[in-house]
A = this chain, B = another copy of it.
Amino acid sequence: MYTRIMKITFIQTGGTIDKDYPAGNNNHGYSFEITTPAVKRVLEKIKILDFEYEIIECLKKDSLDITDADREKIKKTCMETPNDKIIITHGTDTMDQTAKCLSSITGKTIVLTGAMRPEKFADSDTDFNIGLAIGAICSLSDGVYIAMYGRVKPVE
């Protein structure tokens, strides 16, 4: 499956991985906001990357708030990109549902990942999980997979 040149399309949908503490004073409280994609910061930190990538900001939602219409939007985004290697960052609570919704797509390798702790936190699992998803997408054939908790599982 190894090719000299590889390109990955990252699709942001929101979830814990992208949560940040609001910068302004107007939101004083206890609440988070969804920021720019964490995957951008992770990949910029790795000084040498031997693949090309693009990042599409599709949704910015906690995954419990993702609707059927949102899932159709994610699916459409996957199908419309000419690229066949796709990593979706997603909240963990409904990652399974979104994965199932995408399982009818053929001819593409799609890996969903996310995080238990926001990327902005010092003890986040984000770097590890993005690495896990990329290690999987480098090695797998077509299909939809979930990469979390140090495992890569095909979606039936």
Interface residues of A (CB under 8 A from B): 2, 6, 16, 19, 21, 23, 25, 28-33, 42-43, 45-51, 62, 64, 93, 116-118, 120-125, 127-140, 147-154
Contact B138 A152 (CB under 8 A): yes
Given contacts A25-B93, A62-B30, contact A51 B151 (CB under 8 A): yes
Distance A134 CA – B134 CA, assembled complex (angstroms)? 10
Contact present for A128 and B93 (CB under 8 Å): no
Copies of this subunit: 4
* B125 lies within 8 A of A128 (CB): no
Chain B residues contacting A64 (CB-CB under 8 Å) are 28-29
Task: Using A132-B135, A136-B136 as known contacts, say yes or no to A149 and B49 having CB atoms under 8 A apart.
Answer: yes
Given contacts A30-B62, A136-B138, A138-B139, could you give 19 more A-B pairs where the C-beta distance is less than 8 Å? A2-B152, A16-B21, A21-B32, A23-B47, A28-B62, A29-B62, A31-B31, A45-B123, A46-B125, A47-B116, A47-B125, A48-B116, A49-B150, A50-B149, A121-B122, A129-B131, A132-B138, A136-B139, A138-B147
> Which B residues are in CB contact (< 8 Å) with A43?
150
